[in-house]
Each structure stands twice: as C-alpha cells, then as structure tokens.
Amino acid sequence: MAQKALLRRISFYADLDDVDQQVIMQIDGREQHYEKNTELVDAGQEMDSVLIVKQGWAIRYKTLEDGRRQVLNVLLPGDMFDLQVLVAAEADHSVKTVTSLTGLSVRPSEFRRLLTESGKLTLAFWWMQVQEEAFLREQIVRNGTQSARERIGHFLLELYRRVLITGAGTDDGFRVPLTQTVIADALGLTPIHTNRVLRQLERDGLLERDNGWILFKDETRLAEMSQFDPSYFHLDAFRMRLGRE
Amino acid sequence: MAQKALLRRISFYADLDDVDQQVIMQIDGREQHYEKNTELVDAGQEMDSVLIVKQGWAIRYKTLEDGRRQVLNVLLPGDMFDLQVLVAAEADHSVKTVTSLTGLSVRPSEFRRLLTESGKLTLAFWWMQVQEEAFLREQIVRNGTQSARERIGHFLLELYRRVLITGAGTDDGFRVPLTQTVIADALGLTPIHTNRVLRQLERDGLLERDNGWILFKDETRLAEMSQFDPSYFHLDAFRMRLGRE
DNA sequence: CGGCGAGTTGAAGAGCTTCAAGCCTGGTGG
DNA sequence: CCACCAGGCTTGAAGCTCTTCAACTCGCCG
C-alpha cells in the first residue's frame, strides 16, 4: 500500500483523526512498478497524474544540452510528484528511478477531491510543499557556499534524517542506493573528487562505508564540520516526533 | 496600489474576468514603506502576514554561522512572500530590501478569504508558486553545472525576463539595482571574480553596463553561451504574452 | 570468460579564491 | 565649499580546490 507510506509521512505534518486516515488509505489510484533506472518523467512532457512513492528511490534532475546533469532532489517513500499537474504545467525537469520502485499513480481529479475532502489534509499537503521547497533552498545554500567536504557531509546528514522519517535506517547509519556519480551530480562535483572526499571522511574517522551503507562514526563532529542545522526541516512545529534534538 | 502590481503579474497566469480583478484590487492590507537594506524577515522568526511587493527589489537569503551568505532569489514588484505563513511555519531564511520598497501587508485570514473567493485566483496563486519553485530549481542547475561566465549570463537573462513581466526595462536592457556582491552571493562566486567576468563580457561585446543599467549588445549570443532556455518560466502555457519567441 | 558499470588512484592544469592595494562617487561635517 | 570617509568597483599576483585525463581494480551478469 503506497497509501501507508504517504500516511506515515503526512503524520509528521498533521494530527490526523480516524476519518482523515481513512480518506488517505482509500485514495484511488493505480499501483505501478518500475525497474531501476527508469525514466518516469521527461522534461517537456505533459504530465497526467501525481505519483506517490511507496518503495524505492528516485531522483529529480535536469540535463543541459551538452550533457551536464544536475540532480535537484532525491525522492523517498512517501514523497509525491508532481503536484504541478494540478495546474497542468509541463515538466521542466526529469524524474528517474535509481532503484526499483513501486508507487501509486493518482489522477488529478482524484487528488483534487482529496483536497476538498478535508481541511486538515489540505494543510498537510501544504506542509509537504513547504518542506520540499525548503529542501531546494538548502540545496542552493549548500552548493553555493560550501566546500566539497562540507557539501558531502551535509547532504548525507539530510538524507539520513529523511530516511529515518520514512522508517528505514538504523541508529547510526542507513542504506544509500546512490552511485557516487549521482551524489556528485547532486552536489555539483565530479565523481572523482566526490570519491576522494568520501575516502578522506573515512580516513578522518567521520564515517564508514560498507556495501552501500553509510555508517556515521561521529555524527556530531560531521554535523559541526558541515554546519548542518536541520531547522529547515520544520519539524519543530510538530514537537520533533523524530525524537532527535 | 500594490494590488495593481499583483494584478499585472497574475494576469500572466490566468484570464481574469472583471469580478476577479475587482477581488484583487480590493485586497485589504496595510501599505508599508521600507528603506534600502531593511531586514523584512529574519530567519527563525514567526511571520504574521503575507507581503505583496508593489515597488522596489528585495532578496531572500540565508547566512551560515561563519558569515558566508547565499542569495536564494530576487523579489520583484508583483512577487509575494511568504505564503508559508498560511501554515504557520517559521522563516527558514531572511528577506531584505536592496532598494527602497513599498508593499502591501496582508493578514493570513484575508489571504485565505481570497483563495476561497475565486477558483481562478486559487489556480493563479498555484501557478505563481509553481513558477517560484521552478526559479529555485533553475538556480540549483545554474550554480551546480555552469561556469562563472555562464552563470552570470544566465542570471542576467532570467532577471531581465522577469523585469519585463513587471513592465519595467526596455528593448535591450534593464536597471539592475544589485551590487556585484549581491550577484556574487547569488551565484556562489566572489565579488572579485564576478567583477572580472562582467568586464570580460563587456570586452567580448556581449553587454554594456551604464550607471546601474545592463544593456545587452548581443542577447542571442549571450543566451547561447549561457544555455539560457526560458521554458522553466512556463509562459508558453499562456501563449507567451511576453511577445518573445 | 569477457565486458561493463562503479569505484579508486595519480599527475597535471584550469578556474576561482585570497590577499592586497588603488580608484571613483556620493554623502557628511567642519 | 571643500575635505574626508565609506561603500562599491577594479586590478594584480599567488595559491588552493577541484577538474581533467588516464589507467587500473573489483564485482557482477550474460
């Protein structure tokens, strides 16, 4: 049930009562399955539905004519895209899976019905949008002001928090199904330099990598080094259900 | 009337009938005037109203503890901030005027009334949000993949288009009341390098600067050089009222 | 077994920063 | 009315971060 992933996610943004939860669990849509590295949305394309991610990771990205690629954001279980469809805009960027992915495809009419059904839900979706925009802003700050070392630390910590919210990850680390090339494209670096910095972070005892997992050996020091301040998550407004800080 | 600037802006997003226009012109709020370089919103602050810019420029930005600053976006006449207030989030970034500025301060309750008054208006505001997010994404792409030369060209062309929409600017240029330091902070560069590149663009016959104005001497070549593709403005959806392309 | 994608490492070089200093303009006070 | 100051702009020189080019390894799948 993709609805469950969405419910879990939304519960961070609003105190839903039984009725609201019912509404979400009964969202009408088509369950879809995609292979690893499947193009879900291509820039310039007209979109015809909203997709709610149930399981798996995807990336939003944009490519320039000469092939340079910028990863804008990572989509995790519980994330939705693209609400733009509600105003019938065409995609100005692409979306592609990085793992196999299952999701729920919801038609705009159904989605609009949802929004009118419950004021609380409308608010909750607003919150998700506000947070999504905050992630974009943070991405700008990170890539614009920070060194490669800081960017990588900051990026991993942000992802880690987000993964914890989805219910995955452990006390001291999480599985990162991103290649170093994807990380590099997210941070505006070359894969080569990304690799060097990652290895350096290991040598400095800040983290360990093991078979696709990132394990933080000293999260505090990493957060300080990269000036990671998660207030842009806006979780404080919800009494920090994450149980951190 | 700040309402007029807003009306002009919104008219790019929706075909408003007389009634809709009435609704906008009668928005209830306090007209405010601010001096150059006035802090309007401070990161971490609770916001209590939406501000519609009537006249003047402002910047959204974020500063790190060590003083590094990243400019996220430029606010022009007709722009609004911060709709976040509708869900009572606290500011995760700051806003500050770069010229003297007049605006209309609207209380959230009044704004919500607006949204319920007309479905067309609701859609129009959604469009503004969609576009705003597209600007953020483009900022990420620009700063993440492009060279200083490309970034500066791209940034100026984007601003130029936006200024044209507000009704200012001429055939071949516009007034840019931003210091080179602000431009540098927007593009993740040092003011020194920004200056060198601007001069180089002049020497290459791509633009001229004159007393705060930017004049494009060869807009086509500049757009090619910086791979400027304005489809992210989503203006095509409105039959390109801008009259370009 | 062969090939491909991902990761790793070295060496050379480019782009941008840092430090330093000088200029120009507009505003302020003696 | 002129002297002075501050903020913004400009230029040079040295140096560092990150890129580019190149080559090699490892694990996985056909």
Instruction: State the pLDDT at residue A224.
Output: 96
- Sequence-separated (6 or more) residues with CB below 8 Å from residue B221: B206
Residues of chain A numbered 2-41 and touching chain B (CB < 8 Å) = none
* CATH class of the B147-226 domain in this structure: mainly alpha
Question: Nearest-CA neighbor of B101 among B131, B124, B79?
Answer: B79
**Cβ–Cβ under 8 Å, residues B121 and B23:** yes
pLDDT the model gives residue B238: 52
Residue B37 has pLDDT above 90, yes or no: yes
Q: Does A93 touch chain B (CB under 8 A)?
A: yes
Say yes or no for a CB contact (<8 Å) between B237 and A89.
Answer: yes
The whole-number pLDDT of residue A174 equals: 97
Distance from the A170 Cα atom to the nearest Cα atom in chain B, whole angstroms: 28
Contact B126 A93 (CB under 8 A): no
Question: What is the pLDDT at residue B1?
Answer: 65
Evaluate the CA torsion angle B153, B157, B158, B159 in order and state its sign: positive
* Rounded CA separation B148/B197 (Å): 7
Angle B89-B94-B100 (CA atoms, 0-180°, nearest 5)? 125
| CB-based contact B64 A92, cutoff 8 Å | no
The separation, in Å, between residue B192 CA and nucleotide C20 C1' comes to 12
Query: Residue B151: closest CA among chain A residues belongs to which residue?
Result: A144
Average pLDDT, chain B: 90
Instruction: Give the residue nearest to nucleotide D18 (CA to C1').
Output: A193
List the beta bridge partners of residue A53: A103
Burial class (CB in 10 A: 0-12, 13-18, 19+), B80: buried
Residue A225 contacts B where some CB pair is shorter than 8 Å: no
Phi, psi of A98 (to 5 degrees): -110, -15
CA B67 to C1' C27, in angstroms, rounded, equals 28
Q: Is B115 at the interface with chain A, CB within 8 A?
A: no
- Across B87-101, average pLDDT: 88
Nearest CA to B176 among B196, B198, B193, B192? B198
A195 alpha-carbon distance from chain centroid: 22
Ranges under pLDDT 70 in chain A: 1, 88, 236-245
Residue B32, CB, strand C, below 7 Å: no
User: What class, spelled out in words, does domain A2-118 have in CATH?
Assistant: mainly beta
Q: Inform me whether the pLDDT recorded for B18 exceeds 70.
A: yes
Tokens read off for B35: 């001096």
Interface size A-B, in CB pairs within 8 Å, comes to: 105
Residues of A with Cβ-Cβ distance to B127 under 8 angstroms: 87, 89
Contact A237 B123 (CB under 8 A): no
A140 near B CB under 8 A: yes
Q: CB–CB of A13/A27 below 8 Å? A: no
Please state the pTM of the whole predicted model: 0.94
pLDDT given at position A37:
94
- Is residue B239 pLDDT above 70, yes or no? no
Cross-strand pairs, B157: none
Query: What is the C-alpha separation between B225 and A134, in angstroms, rounded?
Result: 30
A195: CB within 7 A of chain C nucleic strand: yes
Q: Could you tell me where the DSSP H helices lie in A12-118?
A: 18-25, 108-117
Average pLDDT estimate for B98-122: 88
Query: Is A140 within 8 Å of B140 when comparing Cβ atoms?
Result: yes
Residue of A nearest to B84 (CA): A130
Question: Helices (H), strands (E): how many in chain A?
Answer: 8, 11
pLDDT digits (tens, 9 = 90+) for B169-218: 999 999 999 999 999 999 999 999 999 999 999 999 999 999 899 999 99
Q: Tell me how close the Cα of A96 comes to any Cα of chain B, in angstroms.
A: 16
pLDDT tens digit sequence for B55-79: 999 999 999 999 999 999 999 999 9
DSSP strands (E only) in chain B: 30-34, 39-41, 50-55, 58-63, 69-75, 80-81, 94-97, 101-106, 173-175, 207-210, 213-216
Cα(A26)–Cα(B82) distance, integer angstroms: 33
CA A136 to chain centre: 10
Q: CA B186, CA B71: separation in Å to the nearest integer?
A: 4
Say yes or no for a CB contact (<8 Å) between A88 and B237. Answer: yes
d(CA A182, C1' D30) / Å: 26
Helix (H) or strand (E) run with residue A124 in it: helix A119-145
A175 CB inside 7 Å of strand C: no
Please judge whether A234 and B143 are an interchain contact, meaning their C-beta atoms are less than 8 angstroms apart. no
Q: Where are the domains of chain B?
A: 2-118, 147-226
